[in-house]
């Protein structure tokens, strides 16, 4: 069994078509077909079956495909580790994060890290709480920022790096927009603009409203902080957002007010596979992150 056979097999499985796979691999269609045929002969099973003009994995082909994906990912990381051993500053860090941290925090951290390691590359993947857990568990990313920090996820481990306050955001003309602080209960009759299902900020805001004695009336839902802010600024409702999501990115901005009774916060953590060894360059980045947030929290103990 050759590495090339496994690579061709995986590409055909992904494309479900020999011709399309051959085009992406930049080889002749006959070469791909021959390698797949030899692989099936060696294994003694059919890995694909015809479905119209496409190919579909057989049940045993699906099982084999999962193993091959893992094998090739491990091989890719092993090659990368060799290169990083030779020169750690030439490696690549694969990092996941939720959208609410992407406006300011992630760019600031990466820029600071690259001041010290200018040749390190980054591959970013944005996701929801559940998808970030999955990406770290599967090895799709090395590290992920996540909120709230997962307490009972056996496949991942990590550290809480900060606790962040959520502010009420209101249309500029709202009667409470000029207040220094408000009680969350004062928003009980308002329409809310919330993140869609699957985004971790949604249950945080929902539970805070329940704690304040009411269920939020949802007027609009979205998946990006810019959308939430824009809809609130346009007078479509009110919402709560963390401080890191309140950096201005366009002229149309809502008012922001501190919330008490209850104070609403979220934890932000950095996670990695609990049973996996981080590549050298990713370990260096994790060490940098822990120091970065420790210094930041010491300089801003209320943040």
pLDDT tens sequence across 120-141: 889 999 999 999 999 999 889 9
CB 20 within 8 A of CB 47: no
pLDDT of residue 108: 92
Q: Quote the tokens at residue 275.
A: 């049973």
Is residue 255 predicted with pLDDT exceeding 60? Answer: yes
Is residue 302 predicted with pLDDT exceeding 60? Answer: no
Question: To 5 degrees, how large is the angle CA 56–CA 61–CA 67?
Answer: 130
Burial class (CB in 10 A: 0-12, 13-18, 19+), 49: exposed
Is residue 86 predicted with pLDDT exceeding 60? Answer: no
Is residue 213 predicted with pLDDT exceeding 90? Answer: yes
How far does Cα 174 stand from its chain's mean position? Answer: 34
How far apart, in whole angstroms, are the C-alpha atoms of residue 262 and residue 181?
A: 11
Q: Are strands 255-260 and 156-170 parallel, antiparallel or unpaired?
A: antiparallel
Is residue 300 predicted with pLDDT exceeding 90? Answer: no
Sequence-ordered list of residues with C-beta below 8 angstroms from that of 51, at least 6 positions apart, any chain? 16
User: What domains does the chain contain, in order, with CATH numbers?
Assistant: 3-84 (1.10.10.10), 92-152+272-299 (3.40.190.10), 163-266 (3.40.190.290)
Q: Which of 264, 263, 157 is nearest to 201 (CA)?
A: 264
Q: Which of 153, 101, 108 is nearest to 127 (CA)?
A: 101
Q: What is the mean pLDDT of the chain?
A: 89
The DSSP code sequence of 202-228 is HHHHHHHHHHTT-PPEEEEEESSHHHH
Is residue 82 predicted with pLDDT exceeding 60? Answer: yes
248 confidence band (pLDDT: 50, 70, 90): low
How far does Cα 110 stand from its chain's mean position? Answer: 15
Q: Are strands 217-222 and 191-195 parallel, antiparallel or unpaired?
A: parallel
Q: Are strands 143-146 and 92-97 parallel, antiparallel or unpaired?
A: parallel
pLDDT digits (tens, 9 = 90+) for 30-64: 999 999 999 999 999 999 998 888 889 999 999 99
Is residue 84 predicted with pLDDT exceeding 70? Answer: no
Q: Quote the tokens at residue 7.
A: 């690579």
Look at residue 94 and give its three-state secondary structure: strand
pLDDT digits (tens, 9 = 90+) for 137-193: 988 999 999 999 998 887 899 999 999 999 999 999 999 999 999 999 999 999 999
**Of 3-7, 87-91, 238-242, 280-284, which range is least confident?**
87-91
């Amino acid at each position: 069994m050759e590495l090339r056979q496994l690579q061709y097999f995986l590409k055909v499985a992904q494309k479900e078509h020999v011709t399309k796979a051959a085009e992406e691999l930049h080889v002749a269609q006959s070469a791909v077909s021959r390698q797949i045929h030899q692989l099936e002969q060696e294994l003694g099973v059919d890995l694909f079956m015809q479905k119209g003009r496409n190919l579909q994995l057989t049940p045993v082909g699906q099982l084999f495909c999962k193993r091959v994906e893992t094998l090739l990912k491990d091989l890719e990381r092993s090659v990368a580790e060799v290169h990083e051993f030779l020169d750690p500053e030439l490696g690549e860090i694969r990092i996941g994060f939720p959208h609410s941290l992407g406006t300011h925090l992630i760019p600031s951290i990466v820029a600071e890290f690259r001041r010290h390691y200018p040749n390190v590359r980054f591959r970013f993947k944005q996701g929801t709480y559940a998808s970030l857990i999955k990406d770290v568990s599967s090895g799709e990313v090395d590290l992920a920022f996540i909120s709230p920090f997962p307490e009972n996820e056996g496949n991942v481990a990590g550290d809480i790096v900060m606790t962040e306050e959520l502010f009420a955001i209101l249309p500029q003309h709202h009667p409470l927009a000029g207040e220094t602080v408000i009680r969350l209960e004062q928003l009980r009759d308002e329409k809310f603009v919330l993140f869609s299902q699957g985004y971790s900020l949604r249950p945080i805001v929902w539970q805070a409203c329940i704690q304040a004695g009411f269920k939020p009336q949802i007027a609009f839902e979205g998946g990006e902080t810019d959308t939430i802010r824009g809809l609130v600024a346009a007078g479509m409702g009110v919402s709560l957002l963390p401080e890191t999501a309140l950096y201005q990115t366009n002229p149309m901005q809502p008012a922001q007010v501190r919330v008490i009774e209850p104070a609403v916060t979220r934890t932000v953590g950095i996670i990695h596979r609990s049973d996996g060894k981080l590549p050298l360059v990713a370990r260096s980045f994790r060490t940098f992150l822990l120091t970065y947030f420790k210094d930041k929290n010491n300089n801003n103990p209320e943040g």
